[in-house]
Amino acid sequence: MAIELNEPALRHARSLVRDGKVVRDERDDWSEAAPSADDENAFIDKEGWTQYSHWHLGIDRTENSETKKAYSFPFGDFRRVHRSGVISGESRAGQYDHTEIRDALKSLLELIDEG
């Protein structure tokens, strides 16, 4: 598994935050706010895999790009960035030594908290 930072997703997340499309919730709220598998499937059916990828800061290019297995570190609900998702992702990225993703999430959290 070779997870790397998904740059288009980071640009998308920053743009959403700058546009005010953010939920300033707490870390523990992510378990309720995170999209369900059914939500993900509906989004993929409607918007496609590229748009789905833009909601995940981790990408594993060794996996088929049209499978969920290729994407990790979600940060929103397909409409807005959730502060809780960013915090959760930053913690997980740090635990698994994905430092580039951890640092990107940390900078995204700082951008959210500035607003």
DSSP string for residues in 7-64: HHHHHHHHHHHHTT-EE---GGGHHHHSPPHHHHHHHHHHH-HHHHHTTEEEEETTS-
Expressed as residue numbers, the domain containing 102 is 3-114
Taking the C-alpha atoms of residue 62 and residue 14, their distance in angstroms, rounded to an integer, is 26
Over 80: is that where the pLDDT of 56 sits? yes
HSE-CB of 109 using CA atoms within 13 angstroms: 18
The per-residue pLDDT for range 98-108, each reduced to its tens digit, is 999 999 999 99
Question: What pTM did the predictor assign?
Answer: 0.94
Q: What is the mean pLDDT of residues 80-102?
A: 96
Over 90: is that where the pLDDT of 59 sits? yes
Q: Say what the pLDDT of residue 52 is.
A: 98
How many domains in the chain? Answer: 1
Over 70: is that where the pLDDT of 1 sits? no
Q: Say what the pLDDT of residue 115 is.
A: 76
